[in-house]
């Protein structure tokens, strides 16, 4: 029965390449369009290449640390971990690069296809996004299955997951800094000071802004989601393994999450065909319908698979299979619920966004205060959703049930990533349509597609955040089970009445806010630098504004690239270093508490940043749609301030927190063998308490 | 030896009344000044009276709940708890009212005394503030001692502490909403739209703004600090009691924190004399020197007292006394360290504030982003300070040592509250000096005193926050010890690997941000209402702006009063209701984890709000001092936006979080007897897991 996993995964990879060819064959339009597309491609590739160089050093250092940690370990040979780790980094990096390349290839053909109407244009951009979604999820699942099949040991898969996570850490943080540096700077000078329209080609930051969309939302978001996806699979397999000492029962427990993931992947693939065949007029609705269809298909297919699994691998009780299948459905439900709550707090037909828009009439400060306080309030329903899903999943299958909830939530990741990658493609296609001097109706089609991408985003983000939280909960518990196995006499407890545990929890709690601060500072600093550069170009070359002289795009691209690369080093070291050092100093239990502390504040700050940012963004759009006086009023100026503050909140700091806590959890799991040998798992300092 | 406690406490109360008479006898100045002072007094009294009415209902409901919880309890009769609870609320309410009254009496005499020069004016305002500091700390300590002396049972003192806490909850949240409603509205319309100077009497919100300073910083901050003060004492006494079963040893352990508090109170009293005798030119330096002198005196006096205690009550090891004394000193050290870190992040000669000011040149959004990210970064050093103090105190005396660290940190509360209450008195005196048409030099003296108050605040706030965190840690541990005593067979653990504990921690973690959101929303909403009212007055009565017509102050006072009262109900119910309901549903361990979760996010959001607010405030002042182009520039407009956003951050939400987590801790302790009887301490739902 388990053979269904590689078959479906390979099928997805195959379709990814089929869609890739479709996109590459499509007509990219006029010479002008191809030239500008070339700039974007070049910028994106230059960034990714330079990033991978830095990343390579980071991967080598971590590989050495892993080798040292597993040196002489009885259970797992060090080279197995090092190889899977490097494999994880390589496969994930390769899939990200291919997906990104297709993304920056699809923008111009999308614009050109608008000449044949909405469905044609939609298809190009949607297939372009689907490459990333199918390739990254398919390749990930295929590798997880292969490693597990060869070694029979989920712990070795942990190395693969950690490798994918290292990539995600760089992609998400680096991409997030890059995209918002360009966006904030382009808005501050272009829109506010010189009143240029969005994506105006006279703006020297225009290309950097386009590149940023791709490296942030395609490469970054894709890497982040696949990181959670693989981690949740591994954690659940590990939790399944800990439930029994009998080999066949272990295998049965480890098979269920693989089967659920395969079902989800198939559902995503079918969902993609459904969407592309049904598209008529409303692409936003088509995308969201696609998500719901994929979720429904997942329910049906996974039920079938579980039924077959229970027959072919009857080593565990049929009821146990079904209970954990149900836990997975609650995971899907929680993901949708968080998406809906996000929608409430950020939709401009609802109170939070409208009140934020109204407050803008009384100035910049009240816009900030109103949006921020709604961001804080939005923590409530989403966190309650996570609590309920966690509690029910626990009742259904204890920690293993929570693991399956996270697997369920992430099962339709193919759809989620596809929809997400759709956004920047259509966003870029709009700029290119203007470059190619397409007709107004054709540009309107690109516009329409762009806003469809934004609509789909609310649900995507809800999934990403909820999935991140549940995944790290699963990692937290699997870490504890693993510790019990390695040190059978050790008292594994995250009891906050112990001082080592309390120290761990406090350190963990402060990581997400400090990490966010570093990313926001990075955007802030680099955007200020770029603002200076844009002002310089406009002053020294007045022809740029008149359209008689070309703006120097390369300079802005360079500021964004080098800034993002420099500024992701410290946050990256923090996310791996903090659990590592805490474990060495305070031991196994402190690291468990560190993860718990990071989950608590991570989810809270993630929701705050994401939703406050979304509220500000849509409050601005609400005013720009002509409400409350429209453009040119104090309300509009204040709303633009809110939107600019919200940019790094919602697109840099907020989503990066997912990756952060996932990396922390995987670091803990990887280096547990190291912590276990220091004073019997207590670390260097705890014995003195 | 314990008799030294009531003697010193009574001495402080005596001096409070002596200072009160001094202030009341001082010449309040011209008729105009007395009239305006009358408005302020009236507004403050009206607010406090209306607040106490609402509070009375709240107290009665809680008294009934307490009676029900302790009904039939074997250890403590219900009426004892109800009486001490009501006593706590009454004494704390009374002391707050007296202190506030002296505060609003001292403003005008301070202004008038400026005719005799700086030292005379300083003395009036400083004595005015000292009344609050000495009275509230002295009366608190006296009552704690008396209840303990009569009943011999620290648990009964818990009722008193909870009563004081109920008052603090209302005073801090209500006062915080009030003061910032008026301040934000006055700034938005007066300063930004109509370019009126600060405290201009033509501004209809001027009186409300003055009233707000008093109810926020005198009544609110005083109630908050004394709340932590009493709670830390009680928690440490309870922890001491749990260390032994022998009565004399128990008493010895309970005596130490009382003696330390008495030493601190005496040190504060002597410090006040030192400051008032040494004052020459720099009042800000005098206040901060006073704090350091009080801290040094505390070290010496407490050493003497501990020496005597070890001789007179030799039931515990002398070394144990000294170790816990040392833990107390580390508490003081941590308080000073947090104060210094606050100073670094908010001082305009340091990088964070200067970079925030520079970012303002690039617009509103970058001012917000820069200040906010420094607020996030400031979490690091302060929280590390708390971790180090907690760890060392634990090594010195385990949980009891952590309790003594919090007692030590709060020992010189007399000085801290005095310095804090000094602020609004001098702030108000400045407005009154203008009303009384005093000379420019005389107004400059009031100005100078006002800025001295602001300088002293940085350290005060550091103390308040650190003390709040350590106090609730002590409450968290004493709650666990108490639970073990009530249910000897119950497994008291805050192990996050248990699902009930994880649920509790998640609920606890989301309380501080939600609570803050409610307070910020309240300021936001009420300020918008007041902005409307001020605009209305200026439009309908153009004479007001010309100075030919009187502004209608009463309307603004009324908006602030009724707004604050209405909007503190929900947050207050949340802070008591959340631990109560969690305990009933998920049991004793979940409530412990709830407290831990609230401490983690509470400290983090408290630091973020306080320091981001301080940075914005001082960045604005830095520009107003003529840097970066000074007033009238985009930089200044952006800095004013930051300051306005920071107002409810640093003066409403931030400081209220202390009270919130303290109230949560005391609610848990008070209703433990209730949780213990539901399914043997597991709550209604946990047994189903």
Tens-digit pLDDT profile for residues B189-244: 877 778 888 778 889 999 999 999 999 888 888 888 889 999 999 999 999 999 99
Number of structural domains chain B divides into: 1
Measured distance CA(B73)–CA(B676) in Å, rounded? 11
Cβ neighbours of B648 in A, within 8 Å: 369
A480 close to A501: Cβ distance less than 8 angstroms: no
pLDDT at B460: 77
Report DSSP letters for B595-615, one per residue: HHHHHHHHHHHHHHHHHHHHH
Please give the Cα distance from A405 to A236 (Å, whole number).
9
Stretch 220-239 of chain A: residues touching chain B, C-beta under 8 Å: none
Q: What is the pTM of this model?
A: 0.95
ipTM of the complex model: 0.95
> Is the Cβ pair B496, A373 closer than 8 Å?
no
Report helix, strand or coil for B495.
strand
Contact B391, B456 (CB under 8 A): no
pLDDT for residue B137: 94
Q: For A41-83, what is each residue's pLDDT tens digit?
A: 999 999 999 999 999 999 999 999 999 999 988 888 999 999 9
Asked whether the beta carbons of residue A394 and residue B514 sit closer than 8 angstroms, the reply is no
Q: Which residue of A has its CA nearest to B492?
A: A497
Residue B375, both tokens? 């607020």
Contacts of A383 in chain B (CB under 8 A): 506, 509-510
pLDDT at B458: 67
Q: What span, in angstroms and rounded, lies between the C-alpha atoms of A10 and A14?
A: 6
Beta-carbon separation of B373 and A524 below 8 A: yes
Question: Which chain A residues are within 8 Å of B510, Cβ to Cβ?
Answer: 379-380, 383, 604
pLDDT range class, residue A335, cuts 50, 70, 90: confident
Residues B510, A379: Cα–Cα separation, whole Å: 7
Residue A115 DSSP class: G
Q: Which B positions 389-408 lie with beta carbon below 8 A of chain A?
A: 390-391, 394-395
Residue B152, token pair as written in the block: 């011999």
Q: What is the pLDDT of residue B336?
A: 81
pLDDT at residue number A431: 87
Q: Which residues of A touch B509 (CB under 8 A)?
A: 383, 600-601, 604
- A195 in Cβ contact with A632 (< 8 Å): no
With a CB cutoff of 8 Å and minimum separation 6, the contacts of B421 are B99, B103, B128, B129, B130, B131, B132, B133, B217, B218, B221, B222
Q: Mean pLDDT across chain A, nearest whole number?
A: 93
Structure confidence by residue, pLDDT tens digits, A302-326? 999 999 999 999 989 999 999 999 9
Q: Bridge partners of B495? A: A495
Q: Which residue has the tokens 């805050």?
A: B494
Mean pLDDT computed over A454-476: 83
What is the mean predicted confidence (pLDDT) over A550-569? Answer: 93
A279 phi, psi to nearest 5 deg:
-55, 125
A·B CB contacts under 8 A = 208
Q: Is A365's CB within 8 Å of B188's CB? A: yes
CA A140/CA A171 separation, integer angstroms? 16
Chain-chain contact of A370 with B524 (C-beta, under 8 angstroms)? yes
Of A494, A497, A600, the CB nearest to B506: A600
A59-63: long-range pairs with CB below 8 Å, 24+ = A59/A85, A59/A86, A59/A89, A59/A163, A59/A166, A62/A162, A62/A166, A62/A576
A495 φ/ψ angles, rounded to the nearest 5 degrees = -80, 115
| Best A513, A590, A608 residue to mutate vs chain B (most B CBs within 10 Å) | A513
Token look-up 């309240």 returns: B522
Does the distance separating the beta carbons of A531 and B391 come in below 8 Å? no
Kindly indicate the confidence band of residue A458, based on its pLDDT and cuts at 50, 70 and 90.
low
pLDDT at A160 over 90: yes
Phi, psi at B242, each rounded to 5°? -75, -10
Question: Does residue A457 register a pLDDT over 80?
Answer: no
d(CA B379, CA B345): 10
In this structure, are residues A126 and A422 in contact, taking their beta carbons and an 8 Å threshold?
Answer: yes
Tokens 């002509």 sit on residue: A626
**Is B525:B567 a contact under the CB 8 Å cutoff?**
yes
Which pLDDT score is estimated for B194?
82
Residues of A in contact with B394 (CB under 8 A): 499, 689
Which residue in this structure is represented by tokens 């999943």?
Answer: A393
Domain that holds residue A478: 4-688
User: What single-letter DSSP state applies at residue B196?
Assistant: P
Q: What does pLDDT average to in each consecutive run of 10 residues of chain B (689 residues)? A: 94 96 94 92 93 94 96 89 96 92 94 93 94 94 96 94 94 94 89 79 91 90 89 96 93 96 96 86 85 93 96 92 96 86 89 95 94 96 93 96 94 90 91 88 90 78 82 95 94 96 98 97 94 92 90 93 94 96 98 97 95 94 93 92 95 92 96 95 94
- On chain A, the residues whose CB falls within 8 A of the CB of B194 are none
């Amino acid at each position: 029965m388990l053979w269904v996993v590689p078959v479906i995964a390979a099928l997805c990879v195959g379709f990814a390449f089929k869609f890739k060819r479709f996109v590459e064959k499509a007509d990219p339009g006029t010479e002008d369009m191809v030239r500008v597309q070339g700039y974007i491609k070049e910028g994106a590739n230059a960034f990714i290449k330079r990033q991978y160089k830095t990343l390579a050093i980071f991967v080598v250092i971590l590989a050495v640390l892993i080798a040292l940690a597993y040196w002489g370990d009885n259970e797992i040979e060090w080279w197995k971990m090092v190889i899977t780790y490097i494999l994880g980094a390589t496969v994930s990096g390769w899939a990200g690069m291919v997906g990104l390349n297709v993304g920056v290839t699809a923008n111009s053909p999308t614009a050109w296809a608008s000449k044949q109407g909405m469905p044609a244009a939609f298809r190009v951009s949607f297939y372009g996004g689907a490459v990333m979604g199918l390739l990254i999820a398919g390749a990930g699942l295929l590798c997880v299955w292969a490693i597990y099949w060869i070694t029979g040991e989920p712990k070795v898969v942990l190395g693969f997951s950690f490798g994918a996570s290292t990539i995600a850490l760089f992609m998400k943080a680096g991409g997030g800094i890059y995209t918002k540096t360009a966006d904030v700077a382009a808005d501050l000078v272009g829109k506010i000071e010189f009143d240029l329209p969005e994506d105006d080609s006279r703006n020297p930051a225009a290309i950097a802004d386009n590149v940023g969309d791709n490296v942030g939302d395609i490469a970054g978001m894709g890497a982040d989601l696949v990181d959670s996806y693989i981690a949740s699979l591994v954690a659940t397999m590990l939790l399944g393994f800990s439930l029994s000492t009998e080999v066949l029962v272990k295998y049965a427990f480890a098979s269920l999450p693989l089967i659920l993931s395969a079902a989800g992947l198939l559902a995503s693939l079918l969902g993609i065909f459904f969407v592309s065949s049904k598209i008529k007029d409303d692409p936003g609705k088509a995308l969201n319908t696609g998500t719901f269809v994929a979720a429904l298909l997942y329910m049906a297919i996974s039920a079938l698979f579980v039924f077959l699994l229970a027959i072919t691998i009857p080593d565990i009780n049929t009821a146990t299979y079904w209970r954990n299948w149900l836990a997975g459905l609650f995971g899907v439900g929680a993901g949708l619920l968080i998406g809906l709550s996000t929608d409430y707090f950020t939709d401009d037909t609802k109170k939070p966004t409208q009140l934020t828009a109204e407050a803008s009439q009384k100035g910049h400060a009240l816009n900030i205060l109103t949006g921020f306080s709604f961001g804080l309030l939005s923590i409530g329903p989403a966190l309650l959703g996570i609590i309920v899903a966690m509690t029910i999943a626990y009742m259904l299958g204890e920690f293993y049930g929570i693991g399956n909830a996270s697997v369920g939530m992430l099962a339709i990741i193919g759809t989620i990533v596809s929809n997400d990658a759709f956004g920047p493609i259509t966003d870029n296609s709009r700029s290119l349509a203007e470059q190619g001097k397409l007709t107004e109706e054709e540009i309107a089609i690109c516009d329409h597609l762009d806003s469809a991408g934004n609509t789909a985003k609310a649900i995507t983000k809800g999934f990403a955040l909820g999935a991140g939280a549940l995944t790290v909960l699963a990692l937290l518990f699997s870490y504890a089970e693993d510790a019990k196995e390695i040190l059978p006499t050790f008292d594994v407890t995250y009891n906050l009445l112990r001082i080592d545990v309390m120290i761990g929890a406090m350190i963990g709690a402060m990581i997400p806010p400090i990490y966010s601060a570093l990313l926001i500072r990075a955007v802030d600093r680099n955007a200020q630098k770029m603002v200076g550069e844009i002002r310089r170009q406009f002053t020294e070359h007045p022809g740029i504004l008149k359209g008689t002289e070309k703006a120097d795009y390369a300079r802005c691209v360079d500021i964004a690239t080098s800034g993002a690369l420099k500024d992701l080093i410290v946050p990256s070291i923090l996310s791996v270093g903090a659990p590592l050092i805490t474990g060495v100093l305070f031991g196994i239990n402190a690291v468990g508490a560190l993860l718990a502390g990071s989950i608590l504040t991570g989810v809270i700050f993630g929701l705050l940043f994401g939703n406050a940012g979304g509220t500000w963004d849509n409050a601005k759009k609400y005013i720009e749609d002509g409400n409350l006086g429209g453009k040119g009023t104090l309300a509009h100026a204040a709303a633009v301030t809110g939107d600019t503050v919200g940019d790094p909140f919602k697109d840099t700091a907020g989503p990066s927190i997912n990756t952060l806590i996932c990396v922390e959890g995987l670091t803990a799991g990887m280096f547990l063998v190291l912590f276990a040998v220091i004073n019997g798992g207590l670390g260097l300092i705890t014995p003195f308490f």
